[in-house]
């Protein structure tokens, strides 16, 4: 059995919840590395950069309409049109300017996607995400312009205490009556699932060491 598929199966079997969606984070990996997982029947894949995703996925998506592509990296407003066109989910909505651009291109392209608002849960200067104090305002703005916000997303501080941040995000998610939540990566996905995550973003634990770009 292919090692990528085996890694994926091991992760799936470690999760006692069939409602959890595993996003295989394929950024920097070429299609020959990803293809065995597609052939196995997995269809949720995550990318960090719009141009890389475009180069990699545009043709293959035309032949496989079941593929679901997730934008999990920071999204610049000037890339919003391409992102709306290519992706099915965007996990990194974090300001009104970006939300407005997305809504504009949804209308233009006649396409409705699913969105997560990224929260800067650890209040870290170097990380993207809306400040918790401004979350409610951004959420209601997105609703007003008809963006389909399905949940919140976070990347917790790298301090070995992810669980407390997952609990905090889960409580924020519930307070906004949202049903989906995007949290947990290769090192902490089991804690995230325990705290209610419905979308986990797994890269190295599936594909191995990431290629440097």
pLDDT of residue 29: 93
Residues of the chain under the 70 pLDDT cut? 211-213
Question: Is the residue at 20 inside a domain?
Answer: yes
Question: Is the residue at 59 inside a domain?
Answer: yes
pLDDT of residue 1: 76
Q: 144 is in which domain, residue-wise?
A: 3-207
Question: Is the residue at 212 inside a domain?
Answer: no
Question: Is the residue at 164 inside a domain?
Answer: yes
Q: How many domains does the chain have?
A: 1
Question: Is the residue at 40 inside a domain?
Answer: yes
Q: What's the CATH number where 184 sits?
A: 3.20.20.10
pLDDT of residue 79: 97
pLDDT of residue 126: 87
Question: Is the residue at 187 inside a domain?
Answer: yes
Rg of the chain, C-alpha, whole Å? 16
Question: Is the residue at 32 inside a domain?
Answer: yes
pLDDT of residue 116: 98
Cα-based distances in Å from 64 to 61, 68, 189, 205: 5, 10, 28, 25
The model carries a pTM of 0.95
pLDDT of residue 17: 87
pLDDT of residue 211: 59
pLDDT digits (tens, 9 = 90+) for 78-126: 999 999 999 999 999 999 999 999 999 999 999 999 999 999 999 988 8
pLDDT of residue 5: 96
pLDDT of residue 159: 77
Cα distance between residue 169 and residue 125, in whole Å:
18
């Amino acid at each position: 059995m292919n090692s990528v598929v085996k890694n994926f199966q091991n992760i799936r079997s470690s999760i006692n919840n069939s409602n959890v969606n595993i996003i295989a984070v394929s950024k920097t990996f070429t299609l020959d590395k990803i293809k065995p997982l597609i052939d196995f029947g997995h269809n949720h894949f995550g990318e960090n950069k719009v141009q890389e995703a475009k180069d990699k996925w545009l043709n293959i998506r035309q032949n496989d309409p079941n593929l679901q592509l997730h934008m999990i990296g920071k999204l610049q407003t000037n890339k919003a049109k391409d992102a709306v066109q290519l992706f099915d989910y965007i996990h990194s909505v974090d300001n009104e300017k970006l939300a407005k651009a997305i809504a504009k291109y949804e209308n233009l392209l006649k396409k409705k996607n699913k969105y997560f608002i990224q929260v800067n849960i650890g209040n870290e200067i170097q990380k993207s995400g809306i400040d918790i104090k401004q979350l409610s305002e951004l959420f209601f703005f997105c609703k007003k312009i008809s963006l389909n916000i399905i949940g919140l997303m976070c990347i917790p501080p790298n301090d070995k205490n992810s669980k407390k941040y997952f609990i905090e995000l889960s409580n924020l998610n519930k307070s906004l009556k949202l049903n989906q939540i995007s949290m947990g990566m290769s090192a902490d996905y089991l804690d995230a699932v325990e705290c209610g995550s419905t979308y986990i973003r797994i890269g190295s634990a599936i594909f191995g060491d990431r290629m440097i770009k």
